[in-house]
Amino acid sequence: MARLPSGRRQPDHADQGQPLALPNPQDLDGLSAEQLADVATKTAALNARAMANLALLATARQPIGVDVDEQLTAQQVATRMNAKPAWVYRHWRRLGGVKHDGLLRFPLGRLESAMRRAAHFG
């Protein structure tokens, strides 16, 4: 167990169901420049890891009622998105495309997740 600046104790590995205990903002008052830089570095790393894990969770979830085995071609994706097939081919990874024996396919659930992310983040 690690001790936080506030005096609270933090388990080495937070339980899945328990909220992660982070220091209170006022705990940063009075820290040296070196300590503040360390906090900023660790906060950035936490943020990056949290965002990466959220992205993985978002792509893993499948919308209810969607046939997860349904695979679309680049042409079908282009039609659905009102885009040119060339644009779909250029952005196939971002759209959740996968290659099977040299053929590019877009699992419907992954495509819809990518489209929701794009709509959310602009």
Question: What does the DSSP 8-state code read for residue 25?
Answer: G
Whether 56 and 78 share a structural domain? no
Whether 50 and 25 share a structural domain? yes
- Tokens representing 45 are 């790393």
Q: For 55-74, give the DSSP string.
A: HHHHHH---TT--TT-EE-H
pTM for this entry = 0.44
User: In which domain, by residue range, is 19 found?
Assistant: 2-60
∠ CA 61-56-1, rounded to 5°:
115
Residue keyed to tokens 């992205």? 55
Report the distance separating Cα 79 and Cα 103, nearest Å.
18
* 64-121 residue pLDDT tens: 555 556 899 999 999 988 999 999 999 999 999 999 888 999 999 889 888 888 777 6
Report the domain count for the chain: 2
Whether 77 and 111 share a structural domain? yes
Task: For residue 66, tell me if it sits in a domain.
Answer: no
Q: With bands split at pLDDT 50, 70 and 90, how would you rate the model's confidence at 41?
A: confident
